[in-house]
Structure 1
Amino acid sequence: MRTELDAADITDARLRTAYQECKRLNATHGRTFFLATRLLAPAQRPAIHALYGFARLADDLVDTPAPGSSPEERLAALADQLSDGLTRGFSDDPVVAAVIDTAQRYHIDGALFDDFLASMRMDLTVTDYPDRAALDRYVYGSADVIGLQVLPILGTVVDPATAAPFAAALGKAFQLTNFLRDVAEDIDRGRIYLPADELAAFGVDRALLEWCRTNRRTDARVRAALADQHEKTREIYRYASQGVALLHPVSRPCVQTALLLYREILDRIEADDFAVFTRRATVGQGRRVAVAGPAYARAVWARRGPRAAELQVARKVRR
């Protein structure tokens, strides 16, 4: 991490510790995503780790609250910490401190964090989504904005506004993939992140999904509904993939690798005949290395290319 922090011109001792904590969270909880970050230039990685760490922190407050604590109050406290920290330029919480520094270095719009936290609050009360529009409202805050936050760090060869829709779509595709992989886990939490009207077209409702979870079986109607959801998600991947060429060359191997590996989770679910109620689909280490290996060579080559110098280390905004 020392080389990455030096490359990113992060010299403050407290900030270095904060970024190290975010990297630990990423390496522990987001293995596929973390592998992809290794393909970025060292100067880019700390900021990506910071964004991941903050998202993970908020998600854990909602899904795994500490005994005796109120998720609502802790999420509200996190929002206050972030707002206050963006004003002061620092926070006593290491993860919040790192994401504040990242937001200032890369001029990330604070409204994106507000939208993210709004979706996290929805998880405290919303358990079902009647249609695609309702789910999209949640996913915008929980995933689209992540793609938009990451975009300034990745850099583009076009106006960032041109690349933004593709970045948002890729964030959405990743999130929808997680929903399809984690159907059983989400049911255990009382939530279904699939549009109810689209499931109903195949004769599927909450009761049937809960039956599948209890009996560890995938009903034929559920299998057909999930296959339909897979195709809709693949269409989003196809759209999002058009944005890779709009990124700075140094960043393309990372994003392309993450796209391929996440999309392959859908392949694994299908290969298991949609047995999402008995096992969690994963892409094995061997396959991840097979995809990342050639990408790493492309990444190293891109860092030596004529345009590499354009991607400068972001300097912290003076206050």
Structure 2
Amino acid sequence: MAAYRYCEAVTALQARNFSYGIRLLPEAKRLAMSALYALARRVDDIGDGELPAEQKAEALARTRALLDEVRTGAVGEDDTDPIKVALADAARRFPIPLGGFDELVDGVEMDLKGVEYATFEDLKVYCRCVAGSIGRLSLGVYGCEDWERGAEYADTLGLALQLTNILRDLREDALNGRTYLPTEDLVRFGCQQGFALPVLPAGADFTGLVAFEAERAQAAFEEGLRLLPMLDRRSRAATAAMAGIYHRLLGRIAADPQSVLRGRVSLPGWEKAYVALSGLAGGRS
């Protein structure tokens, strides 16, 4: 189907880490996951794009309308939106909890409103929207005998990935006027002035802050990875690959906290491929 080919092209071009896991899936699941990623990418691009806030809000409203069409089966193969067509087909084939996309839109709307997070519990709500939602959507494609418990682990794994993203993007987000780490943590470590300045103010314990947040992310990884034994072999490999890449990234950040102030920390392609192959072999990286 041409719609799926379009979604696969979007995934191959834009999914820096996600695509390594998707490649390990059998065709039907791989195509469905590409459709999920393509819509998630569209939502993220709306939030990160250059449109005025009012037009972003309108674009997000159109996404919610798209989801309503998918839910009601009002999408035909002659529809001109390939992402909508692919997602509708995937939703017919798999029990995808489409409400996860509504939560993703909720999270992007938080960004548009400039919401800041006073406590870690507040931040967890945001992480559930923008990352846990993707884990639960994916679980609909993967399948899981104990859905309730599996969804909880997927949510926690999403928290681990998003915390890693937040640490990686501290400087970039600050320069864009965004702060995600809880205010109570910034105050505790003397970093409440943020991370947009070239040099942090005297007395700021940036290393302590990163270590503290990295420990939280590590704990979330350990809890969330309990999902793996609940999945079939190929779905387990895909999840292990995606989580393993972020887990290694977290390890690099924890080992050198200042690296996130110098630029975006990333893994080379060969290392991502190695992690993916390790996941296929049943390992955890």
Tell me the TM-score normalized by structure 2. Answer: 0.90
Q: 1:57-68 residue pairs with structure 2 within 5 A?
A: 57-66=42-51
Per the alignment, residue 134 of structure 1 pairs with 122
Say whether the 8 Å CA contact 2:150–2:230 is kept in structure 1.
yes
Tell me the secondary structure at the aligned position of residue 210 of structure 1: coil
Pair 1:271-2:271 in alignment: no
Post-superposition offset of 1:58? 0.6
Work out the CA distance in 2 between the residues paired with 1:96 and 1:244.
30
Say whether the 8 Å CA contact 1:217–1:277 is kept in structure 2.
no
Work out the CA distance in 1 between the residues paired with 2:275 and 2:106.
35
Per the alignment, residue 272 of structure 2 pairs with 288
Pair 1:184-2:155 in alignment: no
Say whether the 8 Å CA contact 1:218–1:277 is kept in structure 2.
no
Q: 1:197 aligns with which of 168, 184, 193?
A: 184
Post-superposition offset of 1:191? 0.8
Work out the CA distance in 1 between the residues paired with 2:128 and 2:279.
29
- Which one-letter code corresponds to 2:75 in the other structure? G
Per the alignment, residue 315 of structure 1 pairs with none
Q: 2:5 aligns with which of 10, 16, 20?
A: 20
Work out the CA distance in 2 between the residues paired with 1:261 and 1:124.
29
Pair 1:152-2:140 in alignment: yes
Per the alignment, residue 12 of structure 1 pairs with none
| Cα gap change, 1:239 to 1:295, in 2 (>3 Å) | closer
* Matched length: 280
Tell me the TM-score normalized by structure 1. Answer: 0.81
- Which one-letter code corresponds to 1:71 in the other structure? K
Work out the CA distance in 1 between the residues paired with 2:80 and 2:135.
26
Work out the CA distance in 2 between the residues paired with 1:132 and 1:162.
22
Say whether the 8 Å CA contact 2:179–2:194 is kept in structure 1.
no
| Cα gap change, 1:260 to 1:68, in 2 (>3 Å) | closer
Q: In the TM superposition, what whole-angstrom CA distance separates every residue of 1:211-256 from its partner, at most 9, and x where no partner exists?
A: 2xx3489985122111100010000000011110011223111211
Give the alignment's Cα RMSD to 1 decimal: 2.3
- Identity over the aligned pairs, expressed in percent? 31
Per the alignment, residue 26 of structure 2 pairs with 41
Post-superposition offset of 1:154? 1.2
| Cα gap change, 1:108 to 1:68, in 2 (>3 Å) | closer
| Cα gap change, 1:208 to 1:112, in 2 (>3 Å) | closer
Tell me the secondary structure at the aligned position of residue 280 of structure 1: coil
| Cα gap change, 1:218 to 1:226, in 2 (>3 Å) | farther
Pair 1:116-2:104 in alignment: yes
| Cα gap change, 1:286 to 1:110, in 2 (>3 Å) | closer
Per the alignment, residue 89 of structure 1 pairs with 75
Post-superposition offset of 1:273? 3.6
Query: Which structure is larger by alpha-carbon Rg, 1 or 2?
Result: 1
